[in-house]
Structure 1
Amino acid sequence: MSDRTEQLRQIRDEVLNLTESPLYSYRKQNGYFPVIGQGNHYADIMFIGEAPGENEAKTGVPFCGASGRVLDELIASIGLRREAVYITNIVKDRPPANRDPNKQEIELYSPFLVRQINIIQPKVIATLGRFSMEFILKLF
């Protein structure tokens, strides 16, 4: 197992046990999974969304369902497959009623995203949504 894989598993374990998150009890009550990220741990391209939707929270897979089909088509249009990129969200747990993530949630979960970026070391970061775009623009 690569060092990157081990570091990403550490992030997963920390998010799984993030009881101080206001979204933790919502996740537990609904039988949801946190959506940490998926893809190539050595990817040149990282896609960053805002927060998981219901389909994602039910499966733990980022951008599945309708949004995933659109993203897969986008990835294919540049000659790649989903397995070649890394896909994640700034917030790892689903906000209730599919609302936008709030400032507190972004502040709580964003250090995990920063660690993912540092581990994966992508050459390109593509943001999917205004919250991820605003965060990345401030970061870089």
Structure 2
Amino acid sequence: MEALHDAIRRCTKCPLHLHRRNAVPGEGRARLGVMVVGEAPGAAEDAEGRPFVGAAGSLLTKTLAKLGVSRDDLYITNVVKCRPPNNRTPTREEVEACLPYLLKQIELVKPRRVLALGLVSAKALLGLIGREVEKVGEVRGRCFPGRISGVELEVCVTYHPAAVLRNPNLRGRFEGDLALFLGGGLERYL
């Protein structure tokens, strides 16, 4: 994994490397057999080189703690490994440039569940198992079985914590989804 993280830190496959302070490979032990995949790093993540350390990361960490889960027990990453300028949505080309890194992370981590946070993540991950999606609402709160990088897993979709911060009405559904995904049958993977 460390060799992969080094390759991500040195990557120049798309123009995002020109603007980054730090690429953000991912972190965690995945002791629970769960990988969390967001969209792309924000400003705080770009500054620290770690995923989900800004306001959205704080919400994610607090929600996990309410469920009795430490973020260290999950592997946390993003589809795109470098911050898009002004936190814009990553382009299709940027997603495609980073996708091989995500596929290798899945191969190495061997998660039984991948939590797709937000539309960019849901589109990328569900696309890998042959399911097209245009809106998070179409698939939110559900898990879809499939095989990615030779790993049998479920892709489970919920809102990105940044969306919850923008629209607090989504918080109950976000927390409920995480409770379901992290408590609903997860013990069979331990």
Q: TM-score range by the shorter chain?
A: 0.7 to 0.9
Runs of 4+ deviating beyond 2 Å: none
1:79 to 2:68 alignment? yes
Q: TM-score, normalised by structure 1?
A: 0.87
What secondary structure does 1:46 align onto?
strand
1:130 to 2:123 alignment? no
The amino acid that maps onto 1:25 is: L
Residue-by-residue CA offset, 1:22-56 (whole Å, 9 max, x unaligned): 111112xxxx1101001115441111000000000
The amino acid that maps onto 2:51 is: P
After TM superposition, the structure 1 = structure 2 runs for residues 31-110 of structure 1, keeping only pairs within 5 Å, are 32-110=21-99
Q: CA deviation at 1:17?
A: 2.0
Q: CA deviation at 1:11?
A: 1.4
Structure 2, unaligned runs of 5 or more: 130-190
The amino acid that maps onto 2:105 is: Q
Give the whole-Å Cα distance in 2 for the aligned partners of 1:117 and 1:137: 14
Q: CA deviation at 1:78?
A: 2.7
Residue-by-residue CA offset, 1:96-138 (whole Å, 9 max, x unaligned): 0110000000000011001101100111111111010011111
Structure 1, unaligned runs of 5 or more: 1-7
The amino acid that maps onto 2:23 is: P
What secondary structure does 2:40 align onto?
coil
Query: How many residue pairs get matched?
Result: 129
Cα RMSD over matched residues? Answer: 1.2
Q: CA deviation at 1:63?
A: 0.4
Comparing both structures, which one devotes a greater share of its residues to strand? Answer: 2
* 1:15 corresponds to which of 8, 23, 43: 8
Structure 1 vs Structure 2: percent identity of aligned residues?
38
The amino acid that maps onto 1:118 is: E
Which deviates more from structure 2 when the two are superposed, residues 39-48 or residues 107-116?
39-48
Q: Match of 2:18?
A: 25
